[in-house]
Structure formats: structure tokens, C-alpha cells
């Protein structure tokens, strides 16, 4: 028969401190103090950040239908329907662009500057002013590669049509003892430039000249005794 021994009154029960030592005091867990103001501020900052991101995403997603240049167009050339294409772009309000709905109004107008394929079309890049002014005539000048500069000739450029006397005229002037003077030149404005002929490389350049000089220039061009040079630029 087993006997259970009870501790005598007044004695402490052995604790972690050893036999007969005092019992360990229980741990007191402190609860963190909640700060409602700080929590509210954090929630407000998170909400503001989310709203800013949403507004930025919405603004960047707003696109405008505008016109872009589909292929290179030289200065002075009339715009064709195939030269322009619609595009949907997200634009800054400061950017001036031609809406795609105005495409029909752009066809037929002339390029005020050289337009490059893929560029955004702005209103200042087109003009309705013709390169042929009142009192002028358009004369086609057929030129061999040796009769025009290697630099690209574009509509709107100022050029000089130079009369080049043929060999027989030069020989006759030499026999007569005449001193050849400076060749005659005629200022002109390039209206259009044709494609070089496959076999000969001859290029036909349409130029605008005063109506009083048109017939004489056409007669001179028929002989082939002409050349085209670029006119001096302003200030040169």
C-alpha cells in the first residue's frame, strides 16, 4: 500500500531555483499600444498611392487618332492619299498633330518641309501655296547626269538654268576673234523632279520661270545646250 507524503504547512515547494528556493514570478506580457492616428495615416498614404497609379495608367492609355507620314515626301510635292496613314498614339497636350479625320483635307496640299516616313504630321508642315506663282510658266528641262549637280534636287529649290553654247558656236566665235562672255543664266524654281530614265539616266526637272522667258527656255532645252546649277543661298 503506497503512501502519499504531503508537504508540511509553511514549507515551500521546490521550484526552479532549487530545493527550498522561492518560486519564479510569472512573466507579464505587455500589450502594444495601438496608435489610431498612425494607422489612419498609413491607410491614407496607401490609398493615395493607388489612386495616383490608377490615374497615371488611365492617362497613358488615352490615345488619339492622328496622321503619320507613310513614305518620304520632298518639299513642295503635293500630298497623295498613299503618303498619309492613320495611327493611334498617346500624345502630350503640347504636341500639335493633324487628326486622322482630316486626311481628306490634307490630300492635295504641298509639303512645306521634307517629310520623312514614320514621322508625325503637324499642321505647320503642309501648305496650300503653289510653287508656281502668277505670271510664271512651267518648263520641263531634260538633263543628263553631267548637266545637273549630284546633290538631290527637290521641289521648292531655287536654281539657275545655264545656257551652254555648242561646239560649233564656240568655234565660230573663236574664228571671228570674239571673246566668249559669261554664259546666260535664268533663275527658276524647281516644281517637280522626275525619275531618271533607266537607259540614259536623263532626268526631267519641271521649273517655274517668268512667262516672258518660258518660250525661249523651251527652245533652248530642245537643243540640249543647257545645264542646271543650284542658286546661291541667302547670305552666301
How confident is the model over 152-194, as pLDDT tens digits?
888 888 999 999 876 665 555 555 555 556 788 999 998 888 8
Residue 141 has phi, psi (to 5 degrees) of -115, 115
Is this model's pTM higher than 0.95 or not? no
How far apart, in whole angstroms, are the C-alpha atoms of residue 180 and residue 70? 51
How far apart, in whole angstroms, are the C-alpha atoms of residue 92 and residue 3? 96
Decide if pLDDT at 5 tops 60.
no
What local confidence, expressed as pLDDT, does residue 132 receive?
84
Residues in contact with 202: Cβ distance below 8 Å, sequence separation at least 6, in sequence order: 142, 143, 144, 196
How far apart, in whole angstroms, are the C-alpha atoms of residue 153 and residue 180? 29
- What are the distances in angstroms from CA 187 to CA 61, 134, 142, 157, 228? 53, 16, 16, 11, 10
How far apart, in whole angstroms, are the C-alpha atoms of residue 187 and residue 175? 31
Decide if pLDDT at 71 tops 80.
yes
Q: Give the tens place of pLDDT for each residue, 84-108.
A: 999 988 877 788 888 989 999 999 9
Q: Which helix (H) or strand (E) holds 76?
A: none
What local confidence, expressed as pLDDT, does residue 133 receive?
85
Average of per-residue pLDDT across 19-32: 58
How far apart, in whole angstroms, are the C-alpha atoms of residue 59 and residue 49? 15
What local confidence, expressed as pLDDT, does residue 173 receive?
54
3-state secondary structure of 213: coil
Residues for the chain: how many in total?
236
Instruction: Round the average pLDDT of the chain to a whole number and report it.
Output: 78
What local confidence, expressed as pLDDT, does residue 176 receive?
54
Amino acid at each position: 500500500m503506497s503512501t502519499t507524503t504531503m508537504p508540511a504547512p509553511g514549507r515551500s515547494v521546490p521550484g526552479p531555483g532549487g530545493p527550498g528556493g522561492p518560486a519564479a514570478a510569472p512573466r507579464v506580457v505587455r500589450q502594444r499600444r495601438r496608435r489610431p492616428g498612425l494607422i489612419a495615416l498609413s491607410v491614407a498614404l496607401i490609398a493615395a498611392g493607388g489612386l495616383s497609379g490608377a490615374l497615371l495608367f488611365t492617362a497613358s492609355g488615352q490615345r488619339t487618332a492622328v496622321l503619320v507620314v507613310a513614305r518620304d515626301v520632298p518639299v513642295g510635292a503635293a500630298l497623295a492619299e498613299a503618303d498619309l496613314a492613320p495611327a493611334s498614339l498617346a500624345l502630350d497636350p503640347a504636341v500639335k498633330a493633324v487628326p486622322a479625320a482630316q486626311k481628306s483635307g490634307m490630300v492635295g496640299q504641298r509639303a512645306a518641309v521634307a517629310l520623312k516616313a514614320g514621322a508625325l504630321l503637324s499642321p505647320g508642315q503642309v501648305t496650300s501655296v503653289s510653287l508656281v506663282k502668277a505670271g510664271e510658266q512651267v518648263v520641263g528641262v531634260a538633263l543628263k547626269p553631267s548637266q545637273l549637280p549630284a546633290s538631290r534636287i527637290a521641289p521648292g529649290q531655287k536654281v539657275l538654268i545655264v545656257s551652254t553654247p555648242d561646239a560649233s558656236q564656240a568655234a565660230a566665235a573663236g574664228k571671228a576673234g570674239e571673246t566668249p562672255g559669261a554664259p546666260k543664266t535664268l533663275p527658276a524654281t524647281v516644281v517637280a523632279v522626275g525619275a531618271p530614265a533607266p537607259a540614259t539616266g536623263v532626268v526631267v526637272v519641271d521649273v517655274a520661270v517668268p512667262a516672258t522667258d518660258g518660250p525661249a527656255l523651251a527652245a533652248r532645252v530642245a537643243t540640249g545646250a543647257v545645264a542646271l546649277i543650284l542658286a546661291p543661298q541667302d547670305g552666301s
